[in-house]
Amino acid sequence: MTFKTVTCKTVTRRAVICGYVAAIVVAVGLASASGERPPEAVASEVVPSTKPASQGCVNQGSDRRELAPVVCWLQRHMSWKSEHEPHFALLGKPNATNLGLAWPPYAVFNLSEGNGHWRMFRIGFRYDRTWRGYIFPTIAAKQISQPLRY
């Protein structure tokens, strides 16, 4: 029997590649889904509160997470602190529909609704400027007042 030595460097590369593939699969699945969600479905996913939801996720705000036990466990084990912000490339016009890409794998899609509101979808290794580090996995779809730039 032959065993391959696995180092932290190897595991990190594999985690990044697996994360990138998972992000692409999820993005394609969400992009292919058709139809608008009713407003009550969107409103029911967010708990209006000013205090943290305390589900155990890394630097969690006041919104609650779907599949929190799994997502929060993954975030606690796959997120890391870093003073180095990602390099960010914007495709499209800043005040129109655009796609932002960064490395480690991260994508944010901003869609203007034309009435001062935006729909945003992001997935991947998100850099959190408050926490000063990369949080993974992250996936979110929100309605916001201005396009997300990071």
Residue 141 phi, psi (nearest 5) = -135, 120
Torsion of CA 117, 123, 125, 129, to 10 degrees: 10
Does residue 118 lie within any of the structural domains? yes
The pLDDT, as a whole number, for residue 66 is: 84
Does residue 2 lie within any of the structural domains? no
Does residue 63 lie within any of the structural domains? yes
> Side chain identity at 5, as an amino acid letter?
T
Does residue 121 lie within any of the structural domains? yes
Torsion of CA 38, 92, 30, 134, to 10 degrees: -110
The pLDDT, as a whole number, for residue 8 is: 40
Q: Which residues contact 24 (CB under 8 A, 6 or more apart)?
A: none
Does residue 1 lie within any of the structural domains? no
Output the pTM of the full model. 0.62
**pLDDT tens for the 150 residues of the chain, in order:** 443 433 444 445 555 555 555 555 444 444 433 344 333 333 333 444 455 567 888 988 777 778 889 999 999 999 999 999 999 999 999 889 999 999 999 999 999 998 889 999 999 999 999 999 999 999 999 999 999 887
Residue recorded with tokens 């029911």 = 44
Does residue 150 lie within any of the structural domains? no
Count how many domains the chain has: 1
Domain range for 32: 8-144
Does residue 40 lie within any of the structural domains? yes
80-81 β-sheet, strand order = 80-81, 133-144, 118-128, 106-112, 98-103, 87-92
Does residue 42 lie within any of the structural domains? yes
